[in-house]
Structure 1
Amino acid sequence: MPASQWQLNDEGRRSYRPPARRLKQYLPASLYSSAESKAVDTAMLLGKNLGVTPNRLPDLEEHHHDSEPFLTNLQQFHEAIDRFFANPGKLTYGTESADQGVERFDAAAESAIDGSDARKS
């Protein structure tokens, strides 16, 4: 299964509570997530706890690496990620470089902050 389709597991469903408690003190008025199912599930749990309806915002997703096989060997995974960050301008893992991923994510976050993204759902 591609990484973008991974589901939130039981541990993930439990682990939202500490950040929710910390975030609650700031009285957030909005909450955004990517469209990835685990992010949506996390945002729904946080939103319910915070009394905020989450919005999905394209381009907030993780680094695009659905084209890569799932690396069960931890050393191989660490090597792939080390190469990825050691060469941020090069395509070494997935379909975007680290720099491209940061640029995409930054633009999405900025659009959420200034309210300019009409693609929110």
Structure 2
Amino acid sequence: MFKQNEVNERTVWSKILHHERDGDEGDIFAATWFASVCCVREVSGYAVWYQRRLKKNIGESGVSNGDYLLSFYATDARDDAIEFAVLAATKLAADHADPIQALDRLAAKAQRIESKNGTPF
């Protein structure tokens, strides 16, 4: 399994759409809730992921917290992968009142990926 800094090094584009923390500002152990879209360089191409870690575990589309592979592109299609990630994170957000609901609808058609340890990241 990859360590988080390895994934950060391979990330070519990302956008956090929602971020909040429980507890006081200074509490470093407070629970963190977020939703993000990222494009990550993989061994055989580029993966566009939707990472969902929200207080409300199940969305209106029946999507629960997890990591969703929205799309995968070949190694020579880097620009297409980044374009898809940008449009998924920004155009969907602009077209809908709630970008999380729009991404949940997209994730409902995607593949949820898990490992033995839970998240692939």
Q: Which has the larger radius of gyration?
A: 1
More helix by share: 1
TM-score where L is the length of structure 1 = 0.30
Q: TM-score, normalised to structure 2's length? A: 0.30
